[in-house]
Amino acid sequence: MNQENLLVGLAGVLAAAAPIIFAVLGETFSERAGVINLSMNGTILLSAMGGFAVAYNTDNIVLGFLAGMLIGALVALVVAFASITLKQSQVAVGFVLALTCRDLSYFLGNPYMGQAGPRLQSLPIPFLSDLPIVGPLLFKQDFITYVSFIAIILAWVWIYRTRPGLMLQGIGEKPAAAFIRGANVNLMRYVYTMIGGALIGLAGPAYSLAIRAGWMGTISGLDGIGWIALSITIFGGWNPSRAAFGAYLFAFLQWLGLVLQGVFTQVPSQVLQVAPFPLMILTLLLVNIGNAEWVERTLAAMPENARKIFAKALRAMRASPPAALGVPFDTD
Amino acid sequence: MLKGRLGAVLFQLIALVLALGFVSLILISAGASPMEAFKNMFTGSFGSMRKFAEVLVTFVPLLLVTAGLLITFSAGLWNIGVEGQIVLGAITTAGVLRVFVDSTLPPALIITLAILGGMIGGALWASLAGLLKTFGGVNEIFGGLGLNFVSTALTLYLIFGPWKRDGVASMSGTEPFPDHFSLPQVPELRISLWALGIAVVGIVFVYFILQGTYFGLKLKAVGKNFRAAYLLGIPTWQYSMYSFLICGALAGAAGAMQVTAVYHRLIPSISSGYGYLGLMVAMLINYQAIWAVPVALFFAALNIGSIQLPIVMKLDSSLAGVLQGVLVLFVLLMEGARQKFVKKA
């Protein structure tokens, strides 16, 4: 593989990661506020179908993206209403929505199967795209991929460098304390869950109007992406930059799978395409194992110097969820 | 009046009406007549003996999976990995059958061994999710989901790799097993009474464990309050593992049925989504074993009935999934509304 092909491939990885970035950032916001939006897999499919249908009928790509965001926000509203107001299990409601929205997208998307529709064109940025290496890598993408770059930075700044972001951390970690400081915990949870949902809903059209333009129903290959995005959210430790890294890593592994297919022809192609999943489990294990009780006991039994090294390594990988994740909040 | 049992039934009836209304709206927006769609689904599942037999073919694995999930739900676990446990059950069943393909042992013995193998395979796969949770701190939902993907990859690998059909490997699956490796079927119909019997034994077994044993009581204690159960001296993580093993064995049995009574070979989508559907059934019946049979039968009928839709009305058969999901969703929402109402009153 020569250098030019490699650059094109890696630029493709950045573009392929864009929808996953939106989904992961959306879920990060939602979970930071304390609400698990498990519906993600269905939301992405439904917003992909809905976004494509709207763009197809209006011949307007922007409306397609907006429709996707609206769908995502509405599904998130159901999750929020069921869990915050009606105090039902977030996992149960999210899971049901994940399946229902998926089937709904197949049902309603039937007339759009295989239709040729509008598609986002690549938008090279003048001057910057002429730079060596960085140019073709970063500045010859389509609009939505640029948005994904900016979204990572904005999400990070929002959570770690602004006052409302600090409040968001509080709502997820110690809702009672945030409440005393004057935050309307449940209202904020509604808002962040819906904003997160809108971001997740952006992932759908980012597929159906850009990377995998069109709607192909069950063979769209989108079923499963939401579940991956969920595990990347955990891998990312609810931190936008680390989550983005996870999304890029995943997209890179999938690309690598495609490349390796040419090298290992005896391995069935379907196997290499799912290769990232065992790796995801492994990373989840590494991220979580520091939280397990027996690890702490083993560490305590180790000699001083070894313990320091292991503890440091574990802490570097470890990610703890927001303390109030999935716990309903009551003012009394 | 609305506080008691009658109130609960009333709220569930409202949920049913809302769900049917919602799905009717979706059908109208797709330009179809709701009445015609529902009628087609009904005749498609109960219209003839042959169709009803197909419903029972779907009902068998669904009931087994639901039975298993009632155990993990009782222990407070969300065993999403059940889908992969069905797959591994099917794989090990097919594996055992392959070993004995040229043997002279009585077929009944071989089939029994294969089904037992499937149950062990499912249980071992479930134990992975359990180990990841207990010793790795990985939530069973995420560990299970990952393992589901791995199990699919494993199936594809076997079908396109070592268990390849002579000549060409294809998505249609492995070479079918000889006829004597099938559970005996009712003449002219695809349903095996043996499979039906195994499913019924499964749910009765689970009902008995949960209602009539000390083990079941402790399991529920672990599920209700993990910490309190631990302080009471119940070996909590061991109980979690037992529940994973039992659920995995029942899911594995479902996979074994798919191989020995339905497909007679390993196919890529051997689990047919019954794991996820079983989770829905368990949620809809509010984790009470007594309702598992009618609701699983109803869901199976929806699945089979919807096959008519693309043929007769040019609608996608995913309507069954929409109806099932919307129904569970509204039941959950109305249950929340009821609890709020009862608290206020």
- Report yes or no: A189 at the B interface, CB cutoff 8 Å: no
Q: Is residue A299 included in any domain, yes or no?
A: no
Enumerate the H helices of B75-192 as residue ranges: 82-99, 107-136, 140-160
Q: Report phi then psi at A122, rounded to 5.
A: -70, 150
Rg for chain B (alpha carbons), in Å? 21
The token pair that represents B269 in the structure block: 């989508």
Q: What percent of chain B stands above pLDDT 90?
A: 69
Find which of A171-185, A310-324, B151-165, B248-262 is predicted with most confidence, using mean pLDDT. B248-262
Chain A neighbors of B80, CB-CB under 8 A:
95
pLDDT attached to residue A331: 63
Count of domains forming chain A: 1
Answer whether B83's CB lies under 8 Å from B248's CB: no
Q: How many CA atoms lie within 13 A of B312 on its CB side?
A: 17
Q: Can you tell me the mean pLDDT for B240-254?
A: 97
Least confident of A202-216, A258-272, B313-327: A258-272
pLDDT attached to residue B245: 97
Instruction: Centre a 10 Å sphere on the Cβ of residue A216 and count the other Cβ atoms it contains.
Output: 18
pLDDT digits (tens, 9 = 90+) for B186-202: 888 888 999 999 999 99
pLDDT attached to residue A184: 87
Q: Is residue A303 included in any domain, yes or no?
A: no
pLDDT digits (tens, 9 = 90+) for B252-310: 999 999 999 999 999 999 998 999 999 999 999 988 899 999 999 999 999 999 998 99
- CB pair distance less than 8 Å for A88 and B336: yes
- CA angle A123–A127–A132, rounded 5-degree value: 95
The span from the CA of B26 to the CA of A104, in Å, is 9
Rg for chain A (alpha carbons), in Å? 21
Q: Report phi then psi at A142, rounded to 5.
A: -90, 170
A268 vs B78, B157, B320: nearest CB: B157
pLDDT digits (tens, 9 = 90+) for B17-66: 999 999 999 999 999 999 999 999 999 999 999 999 999 999 999 999 99
Answer whether B194's CB lies under 8 Å from B184's CB: yes
- Report yes or no: A108 at the B interface, CB cutoff 8 Å: yes
Find which of A117-126, A188-197, A304-313 is predicted with most confidence, using mean pLDDT. A188-197
Is the pLDDT at B208 greater than 60? The verdict is yes
Domain coordinates in residue numbering, chain B: 1-32+315-345, 58-312
pLDDT attached to residue B5: 78
pLDDT attached to residue A283: 74
Least confident of A208-222, B104-118, B206-220: A208-222
| pLDDT, averaged across chain A | 87
Q: How many CA atoms lie within 13 A of B259 on its CB side?
A: 37
- CB pair distance less than 8 Å for A103 and B135: no
The token pair that represents A83 in the structure block: 């869990």
Q: Can you tell me the mean pLDDT for A163-189?
A: 87
pLDDT attached to residue A269: 66
Confidence of residue B89 (pLDDT cuts 50, 70, 90): very high
- Report yes or no: A279 at the B interface, CB cutoff 8 Å: no
Answer whether A204's CB lies under 8 Å from A50's CB: yes
pLDDT attached to residue B270: 93
The residue with tokens 């739900």 is B73
Query: What ipTM was predicted for this assembly?
Result: 0.92
B160 vs A100, A104, A270: nearest CB: A270
Is the pLDDT at B1 greater than 60? The verdict is no
The residue with tokens 């089939």 is B111
pLDDT attached to residue A178: 84
Is the pLDDT at B216 greater than 90? The verdict is yes
A103 vs B141, B143, B322: nearest CB: B322
The span from the CA of A193 to the CA of A30, in Å, is 5
Compute CA distances A317 → A236, A295, A311, A313, A314, whole Å. 10, 14, 10, 7, 5
Residue numbers of the domain that contains A216 = 3-220
A27 closest CA partner among A43, A48, A5: A43
What letter does residue B265 receive in the DSSP assignment?
Answer: S
Q: Can you tell me the mean pLDDT for A116-142?
A: 86
Query: Strand, coil or helix: what is A124?
Result: coil
Length of chain A equals: 332
- Report yes or no: A288 at the B interface, CB cutoff 8 Å: yes
The token pair that represents B288 in the structure block: 């009470």
- CB pair distance less than 8 Å for A231 and B146: yes
Q: Report phi then psi at A124, rounded to 5.
A: -65, 135
A96 vs B149, B150, B280: nearest CB: B280
Compute CA distances A126 → A123, A130, A136, B94, whole Å. 9, 7, 12, 59
Q: Quickly list DSSP for A129-171.
A: GGSTTHHHHHSSSBHHHHHHHHHHHHHHHHHHHSHHHHHHHHH
Compute CA distances A154 → A22, A151, A165, A189, A229, whole Å. 12, 5, 11, 19, 19
Q: Is residue A48 included in any domain, yes or no?
A: yes
- CB pair distance less than 8 Å for B340 and A87: yes
- CB pair distance less than 8 Å for B146 and A284: yes
What letter does residue A291 receive in the DSSP assignment?
Answer: G
- Report yes or no: A253 at the B interface, CB cutoff 8 Å: no
Compute CA distances B24 → A111, A305, B1, B56, whole Å. 18, 68, 31, 27
- CB pair distance less than 8 Å for A107 and B340: no
Is the pLDDT at A310 greater than 80? The verdict is no
Q: Domain B58-312 belongs to what architecture? A: Orthogonal Bundle (1.10)
Confidence of residue B117 (pLDDT cuts 50, 70, 90): very high
Q: Nearest CA to CA, how far is A109 from chain B (Å)?
A: 9
The token pair that represents B79 in the structure block: 């065993």
pLDDT attached to residue B26: 95
Chain B neighbors of A277, CB-CB under 8 A:
146, 149-150, 153
A292 vs B137, B324, B326: nearest CB: B137
Confidence of residue B88 (pLDDT cuts 50, 70, 90): very high
pLDDT attached to residue B3: 65
Answer whether B110's CB lies under 8 Å from B97's CB: yes
The span from the CA of B55 to the CA of A82, in Å, is 33
Kindly provide the b/e burial profile for residues B243-260, where b requires at least 16 CB atoms within 10 angstroms of the residue's own CB. Answer: bbbbbbbbbbbbbbbbbb
Q: Is residue A258 included in any domain, yes or no?
A: no
| pLDDT, averaged across chain B | 92
Chain B neighbors of A278, CB-CB under 8 A:
146, 150, 153
Contacts of B263 (CB under 8 A, 6+ apart): B173, B270
Q: Is residue A300 included in any domain, yes or no?
A: no
Q: Is residue A170 included in any domain, yes or no?
A: yes
What letter does residue B174 receive in the DSSP assignment?
Answer: S
Is the pLDDT at B207 greater than 80? The verdict is yes
pLDDT attached to residue A272: 67
The span from the CA of A47 to the CA of A214, in Å, is 12
Give the global pTM: 0.92
Residue A122's beta-bridge partner residues?
A: A142
pLDDT digits (tens, 9 = 90+) for A39-72: 999 999 999 999 999 999 999 999 999 999 999 9
Find which of A4-18, A176-190, B145-159, B252-266 is predicted with most confidence, using mean pLDDT. B252-266
The span from the CA of B111 to the CA of B194, in Å, is 11
